[in-house]
């Protein structure tokens, strides 16, 4: 059995006290983090009921179970605002490549069981203090009615382990292989490859209206938009290049109709920036503004290649940005203009995407990477503070994934999502009392310091063990699922991938890359 007992769905939160040497409550208006020293949090039935001094709370609740202790640091749970898969592309045989080649290379992958695959990355996320995730389901072939089973498997994996998920199934309706009309690109291929490619592409065609009637409405009927405290349903046309204006405007209308958010990959690569220049004569962000797509309901993933005008539009429309630092580095996409975003007051959340620098899902490491990656040279150049990074991983992430009303801060009335870390171990042999505990978390926090992760008042992870899922049994089942010969269908897709990849690379040969300045300073700075 993979589930322990009834799993998370059969477990009540009850009442507990969470004690810490430092409670990091949330970012204040002045940009610092509100900290309670030697404090405690009382959670009742999954919601924070009181926050105060440890001695006073313990005196009023002498018999309540205690999590943490006098050497603990307690933080709001972290939010990974951009995630796709469990077993990583490297594990499945795809090297890091530019995005325009990478996705087609992945056609040769084995297809793991969706439920087990989701648990695999959830183990890593929770162990690094992540309590909520924006899961962007990978694009699937038609019929749309079949997408519900895949989506449900993913959502149920998160519900069983006890984790929050904002789920969106990615979709597309054009430019499925390169940033050009499918029929035009297929016609450019050798004759012997055209028929196979046409047959492959045909599987991805569907009526756009079917997405609402055959996928979206049944999913809403089953989960509701906000009925389940652990689940949010969102929308995710994959990116501007592969989504027509009609798909984008329909998505905007569905978001308004059902009260949902939208996550859109945008301006991730320099080739995508060039696409918009060629197609629209303006930037991707400017085009989205023209069609009425921008607004506070929208989170843009990546946003690597944006200019000053784009940033002004984003700020004016209240759009959130999800920064995926590791992914941008690994796929050679560039370095996003995060400092300029923050200067304008644009909410910036953090996403690990497929996997971080260590090919895993470690939010503590991702926070540290963002801190150092955007430290521009100069004595007088502003740099991101630990408090700003902390906000990106907590409150901004909650806002950007649809959970902003419930989590992201430790405050009375909020849901009890938090992570307890061993501050003494984090300090090591010595840590000055003058060191800001938020700085200690950002600079020194590691997964080995995570003592417990609480979600909705339930301890889902403590001392290396998961409360509701047998990790060893799940990983054993996943290994068995993958350790097999390729199916005939997987073999055929792999051969198609090998045949197509050189032609994809040739397609972009005359697309200009920026020159004249260092590439990392041409993305809006």
Q: Does 215 fall in a domain?
A: yes
Number of separate domains in the chain: 2
The CATH number linked to 451 is 2.30.40.10
**Around Cβ 68, how many Cβ atoms within 10 Å?**
26
What's the mean pLDDT in 234-248? 97
pLDDT of residue 525 exceeding 90? no
Tell me the pLDDT tens digit for each residue of 130-153.
999 999 999 999 999 999 999 999
Q: Does 497 fall in a domain?
A: no
Q: Are residues 128 and 14 in the same domain?
A: no
Alpha-carbon distances, residue 61 vs 17, 58, 107 (angstroms): 8, 5, 56
Q: Does 56 fall in a domain?
A: yes
Query: What per-residue confidence (pLDDT) applies to 5?
Result: 73
Q: Does 373 fall in a domain?
A: yes
Q: Are residues 29 and 170 in the same domain?
A: no
Q: Are residues 334 and 452 in the same domain?
A: no
Q: Are residues 89 and 29 in the same domain?
A: no
Q: 90 and 354 in contact (C-beta within 8 Å)?
A: no
What's the mean pLDDT in 318-336? 97
Q: Are residues 94 and 164 in the same domain?
A: yes
Q: Is 244 exposed, middle or buried (0-12, 13-18, 19+ CB in 10 A)?
A: middle
What's the pTM value of the predicted model, to 2 decimals? Answer: 0.96
Tell me the pLDDT tens digit for each residue of 494-504.
999 999 999 99
Q: Are residues 309 and 386 in the same domain?
A: yes
Q: Is 142 exposed, middle or buried (0-12, 13-18, 19+ CB in 10 A)?
A: middle
Q: Are residues 125 and 70 in the same domain?
A: no
Tell me the pLDDT tens digit for each residue of 363-403.
999 999 999 999 989 999 889 999 999 999 999 999 999 99
Q: Are residues 45 and 98 in the same domain?
A: no
Q: Are strands 15-27 and 450-455 parallel, antiparallel or unpaired?
A: unpaired
Tell me the pLDDT tens digit for each residue of 48-60.
999 999 999 999 9
For the chain, the average pLDDT equals 95
Question: To the nearest 10°, the Cα dihedral for 82, 259, 173, 134?
Answer: 10
What's the mean pLDDT in 207-216? 96
Q: Are residues 321 and 455 in the same domain?
A: no
The CATH number linked to 139 is 3.20.20.140
Tell me the pLDDT tens digit for each residue of 17-53.
999 999 999 999 989 999 999 999 999 999 999 999 9
Query: What per-residue confidence (pLDDT) applies to 515?
Result: 59
């Amino acid at each position: 059995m993979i589930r322990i007992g009834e799993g998370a769905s059969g477990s009540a939160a009850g009442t507990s006290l969470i004690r810490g040497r430092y409670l990091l409550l949330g970012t204040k208006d002045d940009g610092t983090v509100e900290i309670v020293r030697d404090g405690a949090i009382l959670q009742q039935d999954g919601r924070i009921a009181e926050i105060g001094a440890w001695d006073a709370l313990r005196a009023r609740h002498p018999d309540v179970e205690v999590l943490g202790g006098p050497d603990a640091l307690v933080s709001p749970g972290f939010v990974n605002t951009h995630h796709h898969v469990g077993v990583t592309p490297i594990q499945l045989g795809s090297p890091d490549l530019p995005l325009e080649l990478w996705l087609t290379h992945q056609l040769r992958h084995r297809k793991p069981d969706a439920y087990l695959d989701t648990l695999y990355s959830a183990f890593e996320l929770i162990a690094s203090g992540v309590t909520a995730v924006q899961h962007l389901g990978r694009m699937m072939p038609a019929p749309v009615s079949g997408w519900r089973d895949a989506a449900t498997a993913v959502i149920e994996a998160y519900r069983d382990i006890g984790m929050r998920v904002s789920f969106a199934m990615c979709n597309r309706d054009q430019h499925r292989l390169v940033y050009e009309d499918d029929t035009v690109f297929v016609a450019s291929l050798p004759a012997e490859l055209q028929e196979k490619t046409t047959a492959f592409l045909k599987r991805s065609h569907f009526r756009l209206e079917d997405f609402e009637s055959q996928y979206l409405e049944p999913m809403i009927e089953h989960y509701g938009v906000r009925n389940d405290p652990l689940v949010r349903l969102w929308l995710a046309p994959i990116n501007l290049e592969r989504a027509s204006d009609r798909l984008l405007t329909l998505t905007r209308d569905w978001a308004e109709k059902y009260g949902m958010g939208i996550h859109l990959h945008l301006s991730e690569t320099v080739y995508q920036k060039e696409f918009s220049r060629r197609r629209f004569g303006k930037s991707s962000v400017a085009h989205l503004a023209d069609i009425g797509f921008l607004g506070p309901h929208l989170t843009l993933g990546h946003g690597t290649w944006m200019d000053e005008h784009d940033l002004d539009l984003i700020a004016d429309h209240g759009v959130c940005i999800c920064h995926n630092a590791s992914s941008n580095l690994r796929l050679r996409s560039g370095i996003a203009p995060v400092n300029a975003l923050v200067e304008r007051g644009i909410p910036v959340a953090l996403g690990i995407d497929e996997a971080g620098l260590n090919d895993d899902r470690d939010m503590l490491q991702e926070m540290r990477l963002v801190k150092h990656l955007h430290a521009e040279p100069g004595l007088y150049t502003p740099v991101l503070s630990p408090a700003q990074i902390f906000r990106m991983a907590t409150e901004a992430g909650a806002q950007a994934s649809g959970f902003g009303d419930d989590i992201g801060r430790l405050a009375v009335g909020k849901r009890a999502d938090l992570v307890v870390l061993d501050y003494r171990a984090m300090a090591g042999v010595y840590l000055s009392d003058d060191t800001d505990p938020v700085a200690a978390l950002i600079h020194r926090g590691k997964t080995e310091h995570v003592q417990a992760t609480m979600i909705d008042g339930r301890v889902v992870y403590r001392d290396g063990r998961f409360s509701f899922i047998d990790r060893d049994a799940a990983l054993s089942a996943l290994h068995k699922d993958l350790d097999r010969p390729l199916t005939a269908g997987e073999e055929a897709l792999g051969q198609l991938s090998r045949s197509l990849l050189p032609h994809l690379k040739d397609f972009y040969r005359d697309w200009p890359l920026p020159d004249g300045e260092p590439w990392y300073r041409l993305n809006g700075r």
